[in-house]
Copies of this chain bind each other. A is one copy, B any other.
Amino acid sequence: MADNRVTGQEGRRLVSTAIRRALSAGDLVPGQRLVEQELSESLHATRNCVREALQDLAAEGLVELVPRRGARVRVVSVEEAIQITECRAALEGLCARRAAEHAPAQQREGLREIGTRMREAVAGGDLNTYSALNRELHARIAEMSGQKVAGGLLDRLKGQMVRYQFRLALRPGRPTKSLPQHLAIIEAVVTGDGHAAEAAARAHLDSVIEELRATPAAEPAGSAALTVGA
């Protein structure tokens, strides 16, 4: 196959997910320039695709788009990360409460299994698995709550935090602190205690905020290789 450039709205989606992936993998660092032509070459896509994909990413708050000056990976300050987490606390509190109140008991029971696996992962020192379970737990609760709007907002907010979430998860002693919080959320949701579930979710994210407060200033905008595998 010679010159199979992706194109159209499929290409647009492909490009945006490629950039998204590169972003959460750390291949693209905050502040880095995103040049349309470079991207279109490395991803074998039309410049138009890239352009549209960048617009999408800008709408999601992942990329900053300055007229006539191109696109950069958006820099999220610690202060903003904290505000994002405060919003998450409010919204995940809502989801946890609703999940506890309205989700069918069978689904709620299913959370226990995640809790067990979390305990195992932490006991075994498997941070990657724990991190994945973490994401799964939050997603499942949002799903169970039936709050599609809140779920959408949360996805957005989490997308902007990839860099911080990554750094936090690797903090020594962090799992020991967050595991009981997660278990408390699970317990409250399974029990059907909406009030407790909301409180537990909020407490968990308040603890994340504490951790963020103890975070050094963001790294300066550097340039890095951009091997965005197609």
Contact = CB atoms under 8 A, between A and B. Distances in A.
A93 B94 CA distance: 11
A2 interface: no
Interface string A115-159: 000000000000000000000000000000001111001000100
A83 B153 contact: no
A67 interface: yes
Given A56-B59, A90-B91, A83 B148 contact: yes
Contact of A94 (B9, B52, B90): B90
A79 to B, nearest CB: 9
A179 to B, nearest CB: 25
A80 interface: yes
Classify the secondary structure of A's interface with B. Answer: helix
Contacts of A56: 59
Interface in A75-109: 80, 83-84, 86-87, 89-91, 93-94, 98
Nearest to A156: B153
Interface residues of A, number: 24
A165 interface: no
Contacts of A89: 94
A147 B93 CA distance: 17
A230 to B, nearest CB: 22
Given A55-B59, A89-B94, 19 more contacts: A55-B55, A59-B60, A80-B148, A80-B149, A83-B148, A83-B150, A84-B149, A86-B94, A86-B147, A86-B149, A86-B150, A87-B94, A87-B147, A87-B149, A90-B90, A90-B91, A90-B93, A90-B94, A91-B91
Interface of A: 9, 52, 55-56, 59-60, 67, 80, 83-84, 86-87, 89-91, 93-94, 98, 147-150, 153, 157
| Interchain residue pairs A-B with the least CB separation, the first 8 | A59-B59, A90-B90, A83-B149, A90-B94, A87-B150, A84-B149, A87-B149, A9-B67
